Structure 1
Amino acid sequence: MIDRFQTLTREELSLIHDASMDILANTGICFNHDSALKLFKDRGFKTEGNRVFMTEEQIYRALKSTRSRFTIHARNPEKSVSVGEDDYVCLPTGGAPNIACPDGTQRPGTLKDFIDCCKLIQTSDQVDMGGYLMVQPTDIPCETAHLDMMAGYMTLCDKPIFGASASGRAASDTLELAARIFGGREKLKERPVVAAVVDAMSPLQYTGEQTEVIMEMARYNQAVVVTDMILAGASGPVSLPSLLALGNAEILAGVLLTQLVNPGTPVVYGSTSSQMDMKTSTGPVGTPETVIIASATIQMARFYNLPSRTGGGLTDSHFPDAQAMAEASLMLSTVIRNGANFIYHAFGHMGSYISMSFEKWLLDEEVTANIRNILKPLIITPESIDADTIKEVGIGGQYLSHPTTFKGFRALSQPRLFNRKEFRQWEKQGGRRIDQVASDNLQQRLDTWTKPDLDPEIEASIMDYIEKRKNGEL
């Protein structure tokens, strides 16, 4: 097969690796957390203040205990997912403080919006997992908002958990709530049920809070998605090969820490790096550079035999228009085809993380469904070719009424939202734009949600913990 997207050679990947090893050995990386620094010192790492130096041998020793593939278990076993090798998961967007409205305006996100996101996750056959910060609720106290979000997701959905990771305490709260579903904290150590994203602070730093998340998740054998978010020309070099070397050093340092805390901790190698736009002083994500970096990230992860994380339906547009769908589709199709394993921001992302759109969420699901259909392999056998039918219909015949058409037409794709009507029929039915069709379908979709079964005692235990934490009793 010919694929014009660049496949980095082993030599090129090794050059990036070698540059990263030079950076880690001679410049080092800062971990702003006393317990982590003590752990590094106790394990024989060279340190200077908060700076830790790492050798290639130490990196490879840590990589020996990582996994190329692992399962994140859901409370509904039928919805557990595998991450790594040929298996991938798609998650909704996260972190946006605003909702992009159908009329082109924005409004602050609310807890109700978050709850609606949970319902979309539960009713979707494209969203594989969710949990935290699909939108930032601005109508509840920010100090405890993660508690309401995690409790909402865990009671309204039965898919795998994407955990709160803004701080070590938030990660601990997520684990405590998950433990009430899965049989206690010690039981968590037996299998991954939560994944949390950790972000390096470029260049070459981890905050105390993010370091604590790494350590808390690793202690309980839960999945850590180590990610960099470099802006070329701002927090990293403008040269993309240089950016990849810097990012690789940051990610590997985080991966190493997970294995020091608990060898075998499931870990994902990730990046959402892009560029600084020098004209607008913004960090756009719908750029060609973002796609190039994402593809290179997937290849670097495979170089180390690790699962990879990238962005998904990313766009800089503030409305689910042609720009939004073009940028999102380009990114989604590239990372899914190139082999990403943990695709964050696949649904609903708008305006470089500043907003989320329910309409675009539904459209992103449609795009993802189409990509999955495209990737289904053709089964080519004498039976599937069916030369007998071709000879039977012969020259100038028709297949519309042939029994094989009646038998097999349901296997052909059908859109859920996208238009296939001819113009007059489309016009007669209102001539609606695709974003308007999505808006019309949103409430119908939400109305299909039903609450999944959950032991009333477990739900009561979750809500009891939330109440006590908010009251300062825990």
Structure 2
Amino acid sequence: MYDRMQALTQEQMTKIHDASMDLLQNVGIAFNEDEALEIFKSNGFRVDGKIVFFTEEQVRKALETAPSRFTVTARNPEKSVAIGEDDFVFVPGYGAPFIALPDGEQREATMQDYDNFCKLVQTSKSIDMNGFMMVEPSDVPPETAHLDMIFSSIALCDKPFMGSPVSKQGAKDCVDMAAIVWGGMDKLREVGPVTVSLINSLSPLQYSDEMAGSLIELARANQACVLASLIMAGSSGPVTLAGVTALQNAEILAGITLAQLVNAGAPVIYGSTSSAMDMKTGGLSIGCPELSAMISLTAQMARFYNLPSRSGGGLTDAHTADGQAGAESTLALTTAARNGVNFMLHSAGILGSYIAMSYEKYLLDEEVCGIIRKLVKHVEVTDESIDVEMIKTVGIGGQYLTQPKTFQLCRTEFHLTDFMNRQNHAGWKAAGSKGIDQFATDRLSQRLAAYEKPEIDPAIEDALSAFVSKRKNG
């Protein structure tokens, strides 16, 4: 297939791999978590203080047990998803402390906002999984907020959900709550992954105690983890994208190795949202073309190791759902989908370089996800789909509108939008001359009003509620 984006050669990917192995063998990775250091020591790794050194043989042995594809089981089995190889998922935004308002202002996010996004995910035709920390709620204690968010993710939505990597205890809480839903720890391990959690390295060449501890707990319970690096080129990493790719590759491989030492076969995703520092402001830019270039490079390196990949999303530096937001987000999302990324976190809602979630932007991004899914769907080329006989029948100067096949396929063959404007100018004016961001504001109340809470066993919901209360009280 022809694509003008750079396709790394085997030689180039091997060069990146060799550079990463040089870093892992001679510089090492700092793990600021005692159990992680003990796991490495007990498996024969050289450890000096908090620094772990990796041989190529040790890394390759870990890669051999990491699956190339796995299924995340949903509370509603019909909504389970596969991740890896040709299968991909769209997942909402993550980690925003603010809600972006239509007038460009921001306010602190609340637990009600988190619940609203759970409801939007549940009613979405395009978003495949529920998130975690879609916003950081300001009105609940931060030390127990993960309990409230996990409870809402499970009770308000029956799609697969993201887990809690906020701390080792937070990860354990997530596993314990999943075990309540699936009938105990033994059954949970038998089912396999029901969550996917985001484990970020601390660039350059470190893992924090929270991230390493969470990774250990989640891998031990056979729950999936994204091992991700967010390097800011020119600041926390080299100024060249080739250097960033080698550095992030070393960090990701170190985390994957730890996961496989804890539980050989634990599902992992090779991930990145590395991008560039804006040399004018000194801040992170996620709307720049360098982010999309890194998406492509990351997807290719994941395939080099036969692993699922994470990157991309509806990412923008804009602070409102305007033309900049649409252009930057669509570039990142389309690049991720066309380059084979399997887990597209931040697919909907993000504004301002991760600082805010927007309801309007969520709905706009959701529509783009549906369009992209249609874009990458292969066109069926068969005698029946070509239908030369029909073309001959219509002949020169005829019309196809009243052909039986048109009636048969008119509702399914094309992407039918009820969101993007396709009216003529007069029709658009008659409907109020609204821009798509204004239309999204109007649509939000309709979507939330149409939400119906999915069925959940009352005994399970009560048990989850009791668990949350017990943990909060001590």
Give the TM-score normalised by structure 1. 0.98
Aligned to 2:383: 382
1:45 matched to 2:45: yes
- Once the 2 structures are TM-superposed, how far is the Cα of residue 187 of structure 1 from its aligned partner? 2.1
| 1:131–1:150 Cα contact (<8 Å) kept | no
Corresponding residue for 2:306?
A: 305
Match of 1:27 in 2: 27
Map of 1:160 onto structure 2 = 160
SS of match in other structure, 1:345: coil
SS at match of 2:226: strand
The one-character-per-residue Cα deviations of 1:58-80 (angstroms, maximum 9, x if unpaired) are 00011111100000101110011
Aligned equivalents of 2:159, 2:398: Cα separation in 1? 49
Q: 2:91·2:131 contact (CA, 8 Å) conserved in 1?
A: no
Q: Are the aligned partners of 1:31 and 1:52 in contact in 2 as well (CA < 8 Å)?
A: yes
Q: Determine the structure 1 residue equivalent to 2:419.
A: 417
CA distance in structure 1 between the partners assigned to 2:285 and 2:92 by the alignment: 19
Q: How does 1:283-362 map to 2 (within 5 A)?
A: 283-362=284-363
Matched, 1:184 2:206: no
Amino acid at match of 1:99: I
Contact 1:366–1:416 under 8 Å retained in 2: no
Aligned with 1:454 (options 441, 453, 456): 456
Counterpart Cα distance in 2 of 1:23 and 1:292: 23
How many angstroms does 1:350 deviate by? 0.6
- 2:445 corresponds to which residue? 443
Is residue 200–residue 229 contact of structure 1 (8 Å, CA) maintained in 2? yes
Hey, what does 1:259 align to over in structure 2?
260
Q: Residues 310 and 340 of structure 1 are in contact (CA less than 8 Å); yes or no, is this contact kept in structure 2?
A: yes
Cross-structure match for 2:232? 231
My pick for the range that moved more, 221-230 or 400-409, is: 400-409
> In structure 1, what is the Cα distance between the partners aligned to 2:211 and 2:405?
58
CA apart distance, 1:311: 2.6
Task: Tell me if the contact between 1:81 and 1:128 (Cα under 8 Å) persists in the aligned partners.
Answer: yes
Partner Cα distance (2:219, 2:390) in 1: 58
Q: Counterpart amino acid of 2:336?
A: V
CA–CA distance in structure 2, aligned partners of residues 264 and 415 of structure 1? 41
In structure 2, C-alpha distance between the alignment counterparts of 1:372 and 1:131, rounded to whole Å: 19
- Superposed, 1:34-73 pairs within 5 Å as 34-73=34-73
Match of 1:79 in 2: 79
In the alignment, structure 2 segments of 5+ residues that lack a partner are none
CA distance in 1, matches of 2:14, 2:222: 30
Matches within 5 A, 1:361-400: 361-400=362-401
User: In the alignment, is residue 465 of structure 1 matched against residue 467 of structure 2?
Assistant: yes
Residue type at the aligned position of 2:316: T
Per-residue deviation at 1:416?
A: 2.1
The answer for unaligned runs of 5 or more in structure 1 is: none
Superimposed CA distance per residue, residues 188-215 of structure 1 (whole angstroms, 9 cap, x where no aligned partner): 2221111111000000000111100110
Following superposition, which runs of at least 4 residues in structure 1 exceed 3 angstroms of deviation?
Answer: none
Structure 2 letter corresponding to 1:26: N
Distance (Å, rounded) in 1 between the aligned partners of 2:453 and 2:228: 33
Mapped contact 1:131–1:154 kept (Cα < 8 A): no
Measured after TM superposition, the shift of residue 340 of structure 1 is 0.4
Q: How many residue pairs are counted as aligned between the two chains?
A: 472
Partner SS, residue 269 of structure 2: strand
CA distance in 1, matches of 2:290, 2:469: 45
Partner of 1:141: 141
Q: Counterpart of 1:71 in 2: which secondary structure? A: strand
Q: Distance in 1 between matches of 2:65 and 2:249?
A: 18
Q: Give me the whole-angstrom Cα distance separating, in 2, the residues matched to 1:430 and 1:253.
A: 55
**RMSD (CA atoms):** 0.9
Matched, 1:206 2:207: yes
TM superposition score normalised by structure 2: 0.98
